[in-house]
Amino acid sequence: MIELLKNLFGVKEKVNPKELLNKGATILDVRTKAEYQSGHIKGSVNIPLDKLESNISKINKNKPIITCCASGMRSASAKNILKTYGFTEVHNGGGWISLKHKIK
């Protein structure tokens, strides 16, 4: 059961976000526009989770994607949506503040 939850929420990943960024990764912040405007990672792209499916074409499938949000829940959902649409290298970065500290 725990393994199922880890897979569902993308917890099992042990990927270095700095390495992904060096490979040209896009940080996809799926918080609301207001949340994003109150603070975000420089260079990240903001597409709120509820608008993700209608904006899939704006995301490059050929680059790694690191999803983030406030806590990691919406970014896990975003990862699953992107995987459903055929994105292959998608990583749940969790909360944007902790991700920001990891990429410094």
Q: Measuring CA to CA, how many Å separate 37 from each of 55, 74, 75, 77?
A: 19, 17, 17, 21
pLDDT of residue 78: 98
The answer on pLDDT for 103 being more than 60 is yes
Beta strands in 1-104 (DSSP E): 26-29, 45-46, 65-69, 90-95
The answer on pLDDT for 71 being more than 90 is yes
* Tens-place pLDDT, residues 12-41: 556 799 999 999 999 999 999 999 999 999
pLDDT of residue 6: 54
pLDDT of residue 92: 96
* CATH code, residues 2-102: 3.40.250.10
* Tens-place pLDDT, residues 36-69: 999 999 999 999 999 999 999 999 999 999 999 9
pLDDT of residue 4: 52
Take residue 37 and report the two structure tokens written for it: 């405007």
Tell me the pTM.
0.86
